[in-house]
Every structure is written in structure tokens, then in C-alpha cells.
Amino acid sequence: MATLGLLQCDSLDPPHVDVDGDYDRLFADLLARDDDVDLAVYRAFEGELPSSPGDCDAWIVPGSRRSVYEDVGWITDLRRLVARMLADGTPLVGICFGHQMIAMELGARVERAECGWNVGAVRYDLHDPVPDDGDAALTLIASHQDQVLDLPDGATLLASTPTCPVAGFTVGDDVLCIQAHPEFTAALAGSLYRSRVDRIGAEPIARALDTLSRPLDRERVASWIVDFARDR
């Protein structure tokens, strides 16, 4: 059995946490399709980190309301750990905040997106080599205002959309990064969006809510993550 370590970077507030659970539950549910993968949770945003990168077969760095470039103690500590994992070739999956942190540690720029917030069920174009034999596009929930501006040196572009050109990348067999949230359901996204009208604006939120009936490719990306961990 492969063990995936979740380096949890945030906790959902009420009422959002009451929709589908917190990040640990969201990822457990996402990956539950395969009994060969066990999830070990470390609350990195509270200072809980593994004693060694070898404690798990692969690691997930998920989303957060914070920015990766903030001078915050737990973010600095996690960045050091991620840098160590990258140097050692430790298998890493980055989701949203994690995608940005891994890209930044590989030398890419991470800044506020010129277009503002990316929200809604977004269609992403996939670029060869796609991790499976499926369609050359997928749809996932987006919720971010920071994004990766450059493809890191040595990385291969995996996903893009006009408002987020570097929406996913891989580095060899050891790094898989996605800007969107495969762990988010439409119900959770709707709850989050409705609470952010003052921050994002009524019109962008209305447009985002209108997209939430689109089919999501959550299970497809879950299979990528499971295969990534199991193939170690």
C-alpha cells in the first residue's frame, strides 16, 4: 500500500466546512476510489510537519487562503521542506497554493493575476504528454487570485486556459502540479463563492455560479494522483 502525505495548508471556516468536510476529508473522499492508497495528514499550517520526506511515498501540498510569498512562519517552514523534497526527488503533488509553492521553489514567478480572480468551473486545455488516454481538456473548480506566471525550468506544461496560461505542469516523474481544485465539489464552490461577493464582485460571482452545473473531471485527476503515488 502506498501512503500519501497531505501537508494541509488551511482549514475551511463554517459554514463551508459543513458542506463536504475540511481539506483532509475532501482529499480522503477524492482518493477513496483506490484501497491501495492511504492518506496521512499533517497540519502544516499549524506547524505540524513530517520528521522526514521518507515518511510517506508521495506528498500533496494543497490549497490555502494565504499567498506563498507571505512572510509567515509556517509558510517559510513548508517552503524549506518543499525545497528539500525537490532536491531529493521526493514525489510531490501541488494543488493551487501547492502548485504555486512548488513552481516558486523551482524559480518561477508567482503573483496576482492581471485578470483578477479565477473562479468557476473552468475548462483547461491539456498538453502532451497527458497522464492518461482521455480527452485533451478537463473541467475543474478554480478559486485563486495568485497564479504561476512562468513555466519553471525543466518543467513540462500540462494544463492551460486563457486566464491562467500555466495551470498545470510536471517535472519528470516526480512532480505533478495543478492550479485548480480537484477536491472541490460544486456545492462547496458555491458556498465559498457566495461568501466572497464583497471581495470578488457580484458579477464575477454570478458568472462563476452559473458554471457550477458543468460536469467536473474530479475522478480523472484523482486517478492521476493515485497512480502517481502507487507507482513509486
* Catalytic residue ranges: 96, 181, 183
Beta bridge partners of residue 126, listed in sequence order: 159
Torsion angle (degrees, nearest 10) of CA 105, 185, 113, 83: 0
CA 130, CA 136: separation in Å to the nearest integer?
Answer: 8
CA 224, CA 79: separation in Å to the nearest integer?
Answer: 24
CA 106, CA 80: separation in Å to the nearest integer?
Answer: 12
